[in-house]
Structure 1
């Protein structure tokens, strides 16, 4: 009976599980196990240098492949090594090795890289022949075959989510928030172990209004600038340099996919809690009031791509002249109502940077306006029309006519939902910088 290595056999089972899922994404429960098995195989039997204090890891083997390539065959490997080396979110050799494994899987080059590793004598000699799988004639062929199988599979994974690869194969939830140019976001930050944590949200700030961050979340990067291993005040310096520009902020969430605490963050969150005892990290129990409100909202809302869309009626719009301040809503909304335009059932999506209106019947987009275009928003001021709200913005220019403002009026299902929509739109343009 041929000899079997438990790592090879386990990897084989793991790959079968991956293949059964089709396209492999970060949410696949078998991905982390597969990567960890590849790491263990590449580490097994790797010998440490005799007269050196530096620790050798399998990442150094991949680095050495470039130095021993004499015929330029490793252009794809070279690009991958350069991308890994240039990634500022990685600090340790272990983190770079893990990033490189994920990169090879996504680019379908794992099999070819393993082949080159096996045929580069100066590198393969680092492995002990009595222990290593890579220098064992019985085990190396099955491992190479499995590597080629992985190279034929479709991996669609987020390479940018790599800030915790130094610590763990378990990846956090990483989300992007896009904000219009604003005076301040309203987050209190705490620098801890080279990471930028959100400690608190200021009352009435854009951060609190949009609820795009929670205390305990990490700001990973801003507009492509990594904040991994950041020094005190570095996030503020970056934001000051980007003043007046739209912001794209990558957040690492303290909650995992299942809502529980992301385990590599536990020790950091404990330190934050010592500084601010009122912080709560854990699932929030829903009260009966919350559940009832959620049921009512569910009747007038739907979900698209993970976002809540409001089911409202578009009442129409009207040109209101050269003034677009909030005082014009008092006569602008009645003007739209008196025009008796055809009501349309629409879905209103209030996003972080703009709002979009889609006709419910045919899913056609009727308009999209960024918050800097909106000059005011409010409700109709008397009963029974507190479900009607409107916003004003510059009217579309027409030939021979001066550009003025127009009022767009809509009607929500309930007064509370109307107030909620108005507050969300107001929060969007309230914090916007205006430039002339």
Structure 2
């Protein structure tokens, strides 16, 4: 057998992408290589897997999840993170098939840095007893070692994956948008549900209701959890009964959105919508019209106000001095804290600087120029920039905080600093 394999080559490419991206923070589900990375990992786990096994009940079939789960139960001396990961997957009510559990395991294990452990039992401990044939990667002495070394590399990457987003892994690797909401206590949410294949699908939302506010809940969404309880597989009426039991409490929901940000319908819900006699094409057209309108409105607002898309990395107190000399240390302090960057729009107006979330345009920061004492960037990190603001007018403030951002390019960072400097003449900054 050749000592090379196209799946190994593909995996190397995705891991290289993840390694480079991890220099800017934890890896999120939104990054483009996550889906193909998980898919190629599954393909390697399945290649050469001996599916047909005999038991007392006749001929059965298994997926890679079967031997992974058995390894955690029968092998001793394995890391606790691996066993707790397998236990979490086993107890998860959102997945019901070996395929779904195997996929959830891959995602869990990437996050908990233990994906290499079950492979070690076969590659290093030679526990390949009827699991993989000679055409496999994991069962081959050389390819198994190469695969294992790549998984070791994965264990040094921080994956911050949303593990609650698991309900459609039985059917597809493609993940929907997953939202968590806490709605005000109310007698009636204004939501009508249709139940199909054990899922609670929103078929109607009353205009002006709590659920309809800001399009939190829309037709085509799937209610995944209510009050922290997974409702997959619930019969009709149980959700209403739960709401009555929790009357007077804030309504916490976890929702699988029926469409993506661009308005396209999530493929996993299409069969459900059709079973409920909803017009998928009409819904998609509505979603895309709304997405286009929101995009145009955001673009117009940002252009009018001079907004620029950047990443907000966080802030750090710099004490009683807001001098520009504080920026170099502050940028280092924030950039080494491994905080998750947040996509924002930075708007430099006539009287101050405003920072809005890209997702919903809510205000994150708002400082007048009289509060800002300095702005600048490090010479060795020119795409990072920051400004320092006092808790009141900077001329009398006794406490200052440095707010750190990262621009898409060095040129954007420079332009923003020039705009800030133009906004308040007393600012000193370094390029």
- TM (normalized to structure 1)? 0.65
- 1:35 maps to 2:31: no
- Report deviation, 1:120: 5.4
Kindly report which structure 2 residues correspond to 1:234-253, keeping only aligned pairs within 5 A, or say none.
234-253=238-257
Equivalent residue number for residue 213 of structure 2: 209
C-alpha deviation, 1:359, in angstroms? 6.0
Q: Which residue number corresponds to residue 316 of structure 2?
A: none
Q: Which stretch shifts more, 212-221 or 107-116? A: 107-116
Structure 1 partner of 2:123? 118
Does the Cα contact within 8 Å between 1:66 and 1:74 map onto a contact in 2?
no
Aligned to 1:20: 20
User: Is the 1:65–1:117 contact (alpha carbons within 8 Å) kept by the matching residues of 2?
Assistant: no
2:81, 2:112 within 8 Å by CA — same for their partners in 1? no
**CA displacement at 1:200 relative to structure 2:** 0.8
Aligned residue in 1 for 2:176: 172
Structure 1 pair 20–241 and aligned structure 2 pair: CA distance change class (3 A): same
Give the drift of 1:159.
0.9
Range with greater deviation from structure 2 (135-144 or 290-299): 290-299
Q: Pick from 183, 187, 191: which aligns with 1:187?
A: 191
Q: Distance in 2 between matches of 1:44 and 1:132?
A: 5
- Say if 2:201 and 2:223, in contact at 8 Å, map to a contact too: yes
For residues 166 and 84 of structure 2, what CA distance do their matches in structure 1 show?
18
Q: Does 1:137 align with 2:144?
A: no
Match of 1:431 in 2: none
> 1:66 is matched with which residue?
72
Give 1:232-381 correspondences, 5 Å limit. Answer: 232-272=236-276, 274=277, 280-282=283-285, 283-285=287-289, 360-361=367-368
Aligned partners of 2:291, 2:36: CA distance in 1, in Å?
Answer: 38
Q: Comparing 227-236 with 288-297, which one deviates more in the overlay?
A: 288-297
Structure 2 Cα separation of the partners of residues 198 and 173 of structure 1 = 15
Q: Deviations over 1:282-323 (max 9, x none)?
A: 3443799999977887669989968999xxxxxxxxxxxxxx
Counterpart Cα distance in 1 of 2:132 and 2:295: 61
Structure with bigger gyration radius: 1
Cα drift, residue 238 of structure 1: 2.1
The CA distance in 2 between the partners of 1:363 and 1:269, in whole Å, is 54
* DSSP 3-state at the match of 1:54: strand
1:95 match:
100
Contact conserved, 1:84 with 1:99, CA < 8 A, in 2?
yes
Q: Deviations over 1:227-257 (max 9, x none)?
A: 2222212221222222111122111111124
SS at match of 2:264: coil
Q: Which residue of 2 aligns with 1:325?
A: none
Could you say what secondary structure the match of 2:110 adopts? helix
- Taking a change above 3 Å as real, the CA distance of residues 2 and 306 of structure 1, as seen in their structure-2 partners, is closer
| Closer/same/farther in 2, CA of residues 294 and 346 from structure 1, 3 Å limit | closer
Q: Against the structure 1 CA distance between its residues 155 and 286, is the aligned structure 2 distance closer, same or farther, given a 3 Å change threshold? A: closer
How far the C-alpha of 1:356 sits from its partner, in A, is: 9.3
TM-score between both structures, scaled by the size of structure 2? 0.66
Cα drift, residue 16 of structure 1: 1.5
Q: Which deviations, in whole Å up to 9, do the C-alpha atoms of 1:381-406 show, x marking residues without a partner?
A: xxxxxxxxxxxxxxxxxxxxxxxxxx
Structure 2 partner of 1:406: none
Q: Distance in 2 between matches of 1:247 and 1:222?
A: 7
Shift of 1:218: 0.8
Aligned mates of 2:35, 2:18 — CA distance in 1: 11
Q: Distance in 1 between matches of 2:370 and 2:237?
A: 45
**Partners in 1 of 2:207 and 2:221 — Cα distance?**
18
1:159 equivalenced with 2:166 (yes/no): no
Structure-2 separation of matches of 1:17 and 1:245: 45
Kept after mapping to 2: 8 A contact 1:127/1:134: no
**Structure 1 residue 116, shift from structure 2 partner:** 2.7
**Which ranges of structure 2 fall in alignment gaps of 5 or more residues?**
313-341, 347-351, 372-431
